[in-house]
C-alpha cells in the first residue's frame, strides 16, 4: 500500500484529510507517526509557499511521498489578517482559544455586513526529488460575534457559512467536507496525486 505522509502534527487536520482520502486506499500517516523530523520554519508570505516548503523538507528527509498543507483565515475588516499567521495569531504560544479571543476583540463593534472573511487552503505534493505541484481552495464566510458549536478546530466556532447560517463548529464533519476550503483543495489534490501515481508507475 502506498504511503502518503502529511507534514503536520495537527490532529484535527489529519483527521479531516485522512477521512477524505479514505476511498483511495492510500495509507495516511503524519508527523505524529514519524518522530524526529526536522522543524519547519513557516516563513513563506503565502499559503502556497508554506505548503510547498513543508512537503519538500519532509520528503527530502524521509524519501516518502509527502503532502504539505497550509491554511488560514483572511478577514476583510482586518486587511486580510491573520492570513499566514493564523495559527500563531495571538503570539508564540497561541492556542485556538487565544486566537479566537483576539479575533473577537479586534472585530468588536464591527457590524455583520463588514465581518466578511474566507478560509484558504493550499496543498502541495512532493517526492524526494522536488515539489510536484500546489493546489488551493477557499470558502467564503462571516465572522460571528461569539463562539458557536464544538466541532472542528481553529476558527471554526466563529466562521459562519452563509448558506447554512451555521458555523463550522456547528456543522457535522460530513457537511463541512462537502464545501470547506480544505475539502475543495483536497479534491484537486486527489487528481494531482492520481496523475502522479499513474505517471511514476509507468516510469
Q: Which tens digit of pLDDT belongs to each residue from 79-132?
A: 999 999 999 999 989 999 999 999 999 999 999 999 999 999 999 999 999 999
Reference 186, options 100, 131, 121; nearest CA is 121
C-alpha cell at 37: 523530523
Instruction: Return the C-alpha cell found at 62.
Output: 524521509
- How many separate domains does the chain show? 1
136 is catalytic: no
Range of the domain at 54: 3-202
The pLDDT, as a whole number, for residue 78 is 98
pLDDT at 1 over 80: no
pLDDT of residue 203: 56
Cβ atoms within 10 A of the Cβ of 94, count? Answer: 16
- The residue behind cell 485556538 is 96
**By percentage, how much of the chain surpasses pLDDT 90?**
78
Contact call for residues 184 and 164 (beta carbons, < 8 A): no
Catalytic-labelled residue, pool 70, 76, 129, 156? 70
Residues 6+ apart with CB under 8 A from 191: none
Eight-state DSSP code of residue 26: P
d(CA 97, CA 62): 33
**Domain holding 191: CATH number?**
3.90.950.10
Amino acid at each position: 500500500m502506498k504511503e502518503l505522509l502529511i507534514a503536520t502534527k495537527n490532529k484535527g487536520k489529519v483527521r479531516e484529510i485522512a477521512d477524505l482520502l479514505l476511498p483511495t486506499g492510500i495509507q495516511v500517516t503524519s508527523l505524529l507517526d514519524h518522530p524526529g523530523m526536522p522543524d519547519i520554519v513557516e516563513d513563506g508570505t503565502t499559503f502556497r509557499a508554506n505548503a510547498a516548503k513543508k512537503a519538500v523538507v519532509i520528503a527530502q528527509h524521509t524519501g516518502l511521498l509527502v503532502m504539505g498543507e497550509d491554511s488560514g483565515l483572511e478577514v476583510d475588516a482586518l486587511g486580510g489578517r491573520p492570513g499566514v499567521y493564523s495559527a500563531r495569531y495571538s503570539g508564540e504560544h497561541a492556542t485556538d482559544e487565544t486566537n479566537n479571543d483576539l479575533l473577537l476583540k479586534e472585530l468588536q463593534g464591527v457590524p455583520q455586513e463588514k465581518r466578511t472573511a474566507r478560509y484558504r487552503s493550499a496543498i502541495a505534493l512532493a517526492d524526494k526529488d522536488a515539489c510536484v505541484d500546489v493546489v488551493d481552495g477557499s470558502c467564503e464566510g462571516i465572522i460571528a460575534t461569539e463562539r458557536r458549536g464544538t466541532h472542528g478546530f481553529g476558527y471554526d466556532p466563529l466562521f459562519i457559512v452563509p448558506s447554512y447560517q451555521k458555523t463550522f463548529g456547528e456543522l457535522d464533519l460530513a457537511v463541512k467536507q462537502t464545501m470547506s476550503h480544505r475539502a475543495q483543495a483536497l479534491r484537486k489534490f486527489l487528481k494531482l496525486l492520481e496523475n502522479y501515481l499513474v505517471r511514476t508507475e509507468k516510469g
